Amino acid sequence: MLLLLALLAQVNAFVRQNAYDVFPERMEVEYYDPTILNVSCTNYKYNRTTRTFILTATLKFDATEGDLVLITGYKWLSNRYRLDILQFNLTLKDAIRFKYFDIDRMMQSCTTPRIEWPVIKGVKHTLRDWVPDSSKFPPGMPEGRWKIGMRFFSFNGIHIMSLNWYCALKYKLKMEWK
């Protein structure tokens, strides 16, 4: 019985983590192809301590199931962002429904109109006031400042857009070794 309880506690740890908090810093649009979409981004303070952004995007093409999102994490080390453990690819369809990193709430609750599959061209989507829920982030991510790069590609390899989201992860309890 004790072994089963320990196993359930471990499984629950992967569903929600509570060890660290995520502090957003800013979002930037590094590149976008104006023939494919229009994008703008504005950073501001949500309240006295929390920063967030307004991101607007209007597609000029029909999204397909083969369109890709490449997510790459860079950790701040030695005065620059260096490639780290966070690297994965998703189709655009799967990225809209992604459960980790609080993406599902961002797409459903913070975007007007809600982003659903299939994404309709010509509709202006506005992402506003997204402050990430730290418990939806995966457990065990290294503490520090992060740059999360998101690269969007069409099914035939055309670079659509590049976004960079900057944040800081801070653990609530520090482990000290003696």
* Nearest alpha-carbon partner for 95 in 75, 72, 115: 115
Residue 99: its pLDDT value, please? 86
Tokens coding 151:
């690269």
Q: Which residues of 62-98 are buried (b: 16+ CB within 10 A; e: fewer)?
A: ebeeebbbebbbbbeeeeebeebebeeebbbbebbeb
Q: Is 43 exposed, middle or buried (0-12, 13-18, 19+ CB in 10 A)?
A: middle
Q: Which amino acid is at 106?
A: M
* pLDDT tens-place string over residues 132-152: 989 988 888 889 999 999 999
Q: Is the pLDDT of residue 168 over 90?
A: yes
Residue 8: its pLDDT value, please? 39
* pLDDT tens-place string over residues 7-65: 334 444 445 778 899 999 999 999 999 999 999 999 999 898 889 999 999 999 888 89
* pLDDT tens-place string over residues 98-134: 888 888 889 888 999 988 888 889 999 999 989 998 9
Delineate the domains of the chain, giving CATH numbers in brackets: 20-135+142-171 (2.70.220)
Residue 134 half-sphere exposure, CB side, CA atoms within 13 Å? 17
Residue 138: its pLDDT value, please? 85
Which residue do the tokens 């089963």 mark? 4
Q: Is the pLDDT of residue 6 over 60?
A: no
pTM above 0.75, yes or no: yes
